[in-house]
Amino acid sequence: MILSDTDLLARLRGGDLVVEPLDDPDLQVQPASIDVRLGREFLEFQRANIPCIHPNSEAEVDEYVSETIVDEGNEFILHPGDFVLGTTKERVEVPPDLVAQVEGRSSLGRLAVVVHATAGFIDPGFRGKITLELSNLGTAPVALTPGMRISQLVFTEMKSPATRPYGTERGSKYQDQTGPQASRIGGDDEFHGRQGGPSRDRDTVDEEADTGR
């Protein structure tokens, strides 16, 4: 069941669902979603002088990205064909009985800006800011202003709460993230096995959400 504005406001008041700072509930709480705003931090992907990126090599991933912080009142220009990681201004806490979906705003979609490639699912138990996968599919640069409403979160109630929600008990890699995070796929169980490192028990393998992979 998707939560309506009435449900969302009740859960926010109850404190088990957290979206903060929610500076303007009248504007941000939509009929069946919550609008979240763009943060100031971006990770830009550089043209690295290497044959390819190995997902299990954190050093290669770090070499491939650089951080940009936009000053107050300035803009980030998203050029055609660009792919950058952004972040929400709001921090989110999802209770064990809810999941959330990151969706783009139609007004930005009509400018050919998309907010996620695959990382659109937020697990029960997730805490932190949401990393956005921003792309410009159009032919003209688009100016993005920190603080603008960039995407919306749709919350769905599960049939029963998760027994083992996203978090430190699962070894979740992106819990409590405070800004855009580059890929940490090298920490996945299958890469540990290939590298000869200790393999975790199958019951504790991290099956993280796309927002936390």
* Catalytic residue (one of 90, 133, 157, 190): 133
CA distance 123 to 126: 6
* Catalytic residue check, 41: no
First to last CA, the chain: 25
Tell me, rounded to whole angstroms, the distance of Cα 149 from its chain centroid.
15
Could you give the residue numbers annotated as active site?
133
